[in-house]
Structure 1
Amino acid sequence: MIRGLVLASKIPLQNDDIEICQRVFDQICVEKGIKDDERCEELAASIIDFYQHGVKNEASLKRLFF
């Protein structure tokens, strides 16, 4: 989910950046029970957006959604 959205993004991310975003995405989906494709896509887009705007710490990113 994350890689596909990153490829469509105008601001490129490195593999390490994508891995951070993917881990946060996976953790939030599990903890909140998110399985719906639309909600997953919205979550992934939000994580990438926050990351690209400077929230680079995994714990900080995760806290934004709880």
Structure 2
Amino acid sequence: APKVGGGLTSILSATELPVAVLVSVVVLHESLSILQIVGIVFVLSGMILPTVIAQKKNSNLPDI
């Protein structure tokens, strides 16, 4: 069985809820409230922002 690192595991578990909500909208024709949309944005930005910040920090390092 493949072993997945902690970083990938946390990303996959964090995307589970937004994906489930979006699938329910597409498949079950559920409606989204503004609060649900805001929650999805918070979850996704919480995953994306640390990666962007880390990349910016690494890009400021001088090349060796």
**How would you bin the TM-score normalised by the shorter chain?**
0.3 to 0.5
TM-score by length of 2: 0.33
Name which one, 1 or 2, has greater alpha-carbon Rg: 2
TM-score by length of 1: 0.33
